[in-house]
Structure 1
Amino acid sequence: MSEMLKNQVAIVTGSARGIGREVAQMFVDHGAKVVITDKDEDLAAEAVTAIREAGGEAISFCGDVTATDFAKNIIHTTIENFGRLDILVNNAGYTADNLVHRLTDEQFQEMLDIHLIAPFRLIREATPYMRDVAKKEIENGVTNYRKIVNVSSMSGVKGNVGQANYAAAKAGLLGLTKTIALEWGQFNINCNSVAFGFIDTRLTRPKEERGSVNGAQVGIPTKVRDAIINKIPQRRAGEAKEAASSIFYLSSPLSNYINGQVHLVNGGSYS
């Protein structure tokens, strides 16, 4: 195991599968202790078991990140088990697409809740264990870097047909990222965002595979999916591990002088 993240503690939301699971594994492989979070308790338990069997340290905390008490409870559990918090990755999310003239208030609010309000609450709740601890360290001449990575999307950068709710939430997350970077940069806390393009996950798999999130079908019709991929300069979807690598980079000492940035991970696709 590498020791790049030795003894650091990370929370990764939505980490029982997909990109989040890859991120958690990378963190553990580089010496971190990880809190796995997901609504699916069985999948979360499987992830923790796999990490522990490989010699890593992990716990799970399951629940709905949009619940008003989620942030308080997961931060408390993290500190209770590991005594510190060094890395926070706001990764949990999904889509609820519809054309703007058909979007309901509930569909719009749903995307704001999970992609913008939930990350805000987690960052705010982490204040005593990230910002305040860092402030005391600096006063004592100690420098330790801490990282926050918010997972946005190219939809939040350029918009996307059928995703007014999702795009608005992800764009708002970029504003939150830049503001936290301005406020907390003086405490050696780097807050950055990754904006993913077409990554191969449940949300972008062929719709014919009948994947679902919260009981709603997700995915993209094969013909539409193929057309999107053909417009990507690299002519393929990104892999979950490739997406996770960008999050790892922004969570590691390699990015100590990168703050308030939006890291585009899209295979060169900008249109």
Structure 2
Amino acid sequence: MAADRLKQISGHLANSHSNGLLNGEVVIVTGAAQGIGRSCVLLFAREGAKVVISDLDEAKAQAVVDEVKAAGGDAIAVGGDVGADDFPEKILKATVDKFGKLNHIVNNAGFTYDKMLHTMPDESFDAIMRIHVRAPFRLVRAAAPFFRVKGSKENRSIVNVSSVSGLHGSVGQANYAAAKSAIIGFTKTIAKEWGVFNARANTVAFGYVQTRLTAAKEKGETIMINGKLVALGIPGGGKAADEGKPVPGIPLGRGATTDEAANSILFLLSPLASFVTGHTLEVTGGAGI
């Protein structure tokens, strides 16, 4: 089955990468070894991009690189904590050393660290803000020379991943909601400051996407944060989908696949969105309308 899937991806790449929506462009994707990030990498490569795959787990990131290369694309892996002080310089150097330029950044890395507001310790709040707000800010700031280019007509953009939690709040996620709201304001500021350089910045606010962050917490998925294992998921999460039932509150009746999530990011990166900047695209299946 895996071999068939790889052959299918290879066929798509062979047929489309030379005239794809991102042909010859270079994209950094953080949190790209699995979930939405991995789907973004495979999709962007199919559309002709050269992709820099960043993840906390470098071995998993390299496995995605191997998928891309086996299918005829080009990518590199850069492991490490996006929140580390030296991370922006590290990933930008690797990008330029390999590909010589940078067109796009997708700030996708993130996780949840849920607690009810009245019991949430400082460490839970600070850890989420560090990865979801401070890290994107520091990477974008370091990448300024690639985007603040006078007279450039090249397609260049930044997409920051947000959430409906940042638009409407979410029980047990005061930290996550605050961070995902902050990234929207940050993105709009980039759009206003760098629009004169023909550089765009947009946000995607995802609703229910089927990833380890929305799966049942009982499945035992964890992430190591500051030497501590943090449980991921939602108690009883994904139950309706697992039982083949419509998901309440979503007109389309289901959560998005990671490929569907990646499609929305591709649109914002691509020339199809050449006059779209400062926008927050809600990808929710109609939830909240």
TM-score band by shorter chain is over 0.9
Distance (whole Å) between structure 2 residues aligned to residue 165 and residue 67 of structure 1 = 20
Q: Map 1:170-181 to 2 at 5 A.
A: 170-181=180-191
Question: Which residue number in structure 2 is paired with residue 36 of structure 1?
Answer: 53
In the TM superposition, residue 184 of structure 1 has moved relative to its aligned partner by: 0.5
Q: Aligned to 1:50, what secondary structure does the other structure show? A: helix
Q: Aligned to 1:192, what secondary structure does the other structure show? A: strand
1:247 to 239, 258, 265: 265
Question: Which residue number in structure 2 is paired with residue 234 of structure 1?
Answer: 252
Query: Aligned letter for 2:29?
Result: V
CA RMSD, Structure 1 to Structure 2 (Å): 1.5
1:197–1:49 Cα change, 3 Å: same
- Residue 75 of structure 1 pairs with residue 92 of structure 2: yes
Question: Which residue number in structure 1 is paired with residue 79 of structure 2?
Answer: 62
Query: Aligned letter for 1:218?
Result: L
Query: Aligned letter for 2:270?
Result: S
Q: Deviations over 1:156-204 (max 9, x none)?
A: 0111111000000110000000000000011111100000001000011
In the TM superposition, residue 234 of structure 1 has moved relative to its aligned partner by: 1.5
- Residue 194 of structure 1 pairs with residue 194 of structure 2: no
In the TM superposition, residue 224 of structure 1 has moved relative to its aligned partner by: 7.7
- Residue 264 of structure 1 pairs with residue 267 of structure 2: no
Distance (whole Å) between structure 2 residues aligned to residue 196 and residue 238 of structure 1 = 9
Distance (whole Å) between structure 2 residues aligned to residue 52 and residue 211 of structure 1 = 28
Q: Map 1:1-271 to 2 at 5 A.
A: 1-2=16-17, 3=19, 4-131=21-148, 134-135=149-150, 138=151, 142-214=152-224, 215-222=229-236, 225-226=239-240, 229-270=247-288
Q: Aligned to 1:200, what secondary structure does the other structure show? A: coil
Q: Give identity over the alignment, percent.
A: 47
CA contact (8 A) 2:56 2:81 kept: yes
1:171–1:188 Cα change, 3 Å: same
1:235–1:74 Cα change, 3 Å: same
In the TM superposition, residue 32 of structure 1 has moved relative to its aligned partner by: 0.6
In the TM superposition, residue 207 of structure 1 has moved relative to its aligned partner by: 2.0
In the TM superposition, residue 217 of structure 1 has moved relative to its aligned partner by: 1.7
Q: Aligned to 1:171, what secondary structure does the other structure show? A: helix
Q: Aligned to 1:222, what secondary structure does the other structure show? A: coil
1:29–1:76 Cα change, 3 Å: same
- My pick for the range that moved more, 211-220 or 160-169, is 211-220
Distance (whole Å) between structure 1 residues aligned to residue 114 and residue 235 of structure 2 = 13
What TM-score, normalized by structure 1, do the two folds share? 0.94
- Stretches of structure 1 lacking an aligned partner (at least 5 in a row): none
Over 4 Å off, 4+ runs: none
Q: Aligned to 2:248, what secondary structure does the other structure show? A: helix
1:244–1:84 Cα change, 3 Å: same
- Stretches of structure 2 lacking an aligned partner (at least 5 in a row): 1-15
Query: Aligned letter for 1:231?
Result: G
Query: Aligned letter for 2:103?
Result: D
Distance (whole Å) between structure 1 residues aligned to residue 113 and residue 26 of structure 2 = 32
Distance (whole Å) between structure 2 residues aligned to residue 235 and residue 208 of structure 1 = 23
In the TM superposition, residue 70 of structure 1 has moved relative to its aligned partner by: 0.4
